[in-house]
Amino acid sequence: MRLAREREQLCDTGRRMVETGLVLGTSGNISVRAGDLVAVSPGGVALDRLTPDDCPVLDMSGQVVEGGLKPSSEVPMHLAIYQSTGASAIVHTHSTQAVVVSATMSELPAIHYNVMLLGGPIRVAPYATYGTPELAEHVRAALEGRLAALMANHGAVAVGAGLPQALAAARLLEWLCAVYVQARTIGDPRVLTGAELTAVVERAARA
């Protein structure tokens, strides 16, 4: 079996995404890259029910090289991200707070300094129909210099050097969205300034 270890990782990650509420039903998708091949979750299968055999393997043109199930409809987005970043794994969620923010904001501001772990304030990619080249391009642009992005009226995407890192980024993004949404219920949230964020980066560099 090609990418056997990576396909096992997809199954483990899928279960964690469901357990932590990042996806419901058959929503969301995940992938991991190894060289010129990508293992991806299939369309129409709940992520907590995946088996390694369910997960097709593609080449970088999107051609299936192993696996009987149809790949996720978001393959164009995954491939666009791999082609333009150094990421080795991608997690796409429909988590509640991320969708709320993506439907109301053009950017998730720096509500907490941990946003710098994702590269800075989180951009919201303009809306486009799922699975289209237009959405893939919007998300690719929104991820520039970031480890995560929101997708207008859709969800979120996070990347990493591996699936554990991509999943951690997705969970952090959901937490940041939740903090912002809850802060808005009691007032006008204070947003950290560029200077304050720069100070955080400088302190982390000295640690």
The Cα 2–Cα 190 span in angstroms is 49
Q: How far is CA 181 from CA 82, 121, 154, 156, in A?
A: 31, 15, 17, 15
74 assigned to active site: yes
Q: Which of 6, 19, 74, 196 is an active site residue?
A: 74
* Tokens read off for 98: 């991320």
Q: How do 148-151 and 122-125 pair as beta strands?
A: parallel
Of 92, 184, 192, 96, whose CA–CA distance to 142 is shortest? 92
Three-class secondary structure of residue 124 per DSSP:
strand
Radius of gyration (C-alpha) of the chain in whole angstroms? 17
Residues marked active site are found at: 74
